[in-house]
Amino acid sequence: MAVMILPYPNEITLSEKRRLLQESDLRLEHDDAIEPEGYRLEIDAHDAVLASSTDAGRFYGLQTFRQLQDADGFVPLCTISDAPRFSWRGFMVDSSRHIQTIDEIKAMIDAAAAYKLNIFHWHLCDDQGWRIESERYPLLHTVGGWRDGWGFGNPNPEKYGGWFTKAQIREIVQYCADRFITVVPEFDMPGHCSAVLKAYPALSCTGESCDVNTEAGVFSNVLCAGKEETFDFCCSVLEEIMELFPGEYIHIGGDEVPKDGWNNCPHCRKRMQDEHLANAEALQGYFTTRIARFLRANGKTPIGWNEVLEADLAPGEIVATKWWDPKGLCDDFANRGGKVIMEETRHVYLDYNYQTTSLRQSYSYDLLPDSFTDEGKRNVLGIEAPIWTEWVEDFKRMGYQVFPRLLAVAERGWTNEPQDYAGFKARAEAQRDALGARGIEMAPYAEWDPED
Ligand code: TNX
Give backbone dihedrals phi and psi of 94, rounded to 5 degrees, phi first: -90, 110
Q: Give yes or no for residue 391 CB within 6 A of ligand 1.
A: no
Residue 419 confidence (pLDDT): 80
Average pLDDT in the 416-429 region? 94
pLDDT at 69 over 70: yes
Measuring CA to CA, how many Å separate 325 from each of 90, 138, 220, 240, 447?
19, 36, 21, 31, 28
How many residues are listed for the chain in this entry? 452
Separation CA 122–CA 386 (nearest Å): 9
Active-site residue, 126 included: yes
| Confidence label for 151 from pLDDT (cuts 50, 70 and 90) | confident
Q: CA 329, 335, 341, 347 torsion: positive or negative? A: positive
Give the chain's radius of gyration (CA, Å): 23
Give CA–CA dist 194/48, Å, rounded. 56
- The whole-number average pLDDT for the span 189-203 is 98
Q: Out of 126, 255, 306, give the residue to mutate to test ligand 1, the one with the largest number of ligand atoms within 8 Å of its CB.
A: 255
Rounded to the nearest integer, the mean pLDDT of the chain is 97
Name the residue with the closest Cα to ligand 1, atom 4: 388
Q: Is pLDDT above 90 for 219?
A: yes
| 88-447 topology per CATH | TIM Barrel (3.20.20)
Whole-angstrom Cα distance, residue 300 to residue 319? 11
Instruction: Report strand pairing: 182-186 vs 119-123.
Output: parallel
Nearest-angstrom CA–CA distance, 398 and 52? 34
Domain range annotation of the chain: 11-82, 88-447
Q: Does residue 219's CB lie within 6 angstroms of at least one atom of ligand 1? A: no
C-alpha triplet 115, 116, 120: angle, nearest 5°: 100
Ligand 1 atom at minimal distance to the Cα of residue 389? 12
Any ligand 1 atom below 6 A from CB of 349 = yes
Average pLDDT, integer, range 95-102: 98
Mutate to test the pocket of ligand 1, among 123, 218, 256, 322 (most ligand atoms within 8 A of CB): 256
Element (H, E) at 212: none
Q: Exposed (0-12), middle (13-18) or buried (19+): which is 199, by Cβ within 10 Å?
A: buried
Fold of 11-82: Chitobiase; domain 2 (3.30.379)
Average pLDDT of span 274-294? 98
Q: Is 332 a catalytic residue?
A: no
The full DSSP string for 145-185 is TEE-SSBTTB-SSS-EE--B-HHHHHHHHHHHHTTT-EEEE
Q: What is the pLDDT of residues 348-364, one digit of tens each?
A: 999 999 999 999 999 99
Instruction: Note the pTM of the prediction, 2 decimals.
Output: 0.98
Q: Ligand 1 centroid vs 49 CA: distance in angstroms?
A: 45
Residue 1, pLDDT above cutoff 60 = no
389 C-alpha to ligand 1 centroid (Å): 9
- pLDDT of residue 204 exceeding 80, the answer is yes
Tell me the pLDDT tens digit for each residue of 226-262: 999 999 999 999 999 999 999 999 999 999 999 999 9
**Cα four-point dihedral sign 163, 398, 160, 196:** positive
Q: Is 72 helix (H, G, I), strand (E, B) or coil?
A: coil
Edge-to-edge strand list for the sheet holding 74-82: 11-20, 74-82, 39-43, 48-52, 27-30
DSSP letter (8 states) at residue 426: H
* CA nearest to 117, candidates 425, 399, 387, 382: 382
Q: Are 11-82 and 88-447 in the same CATH fold?
A: no
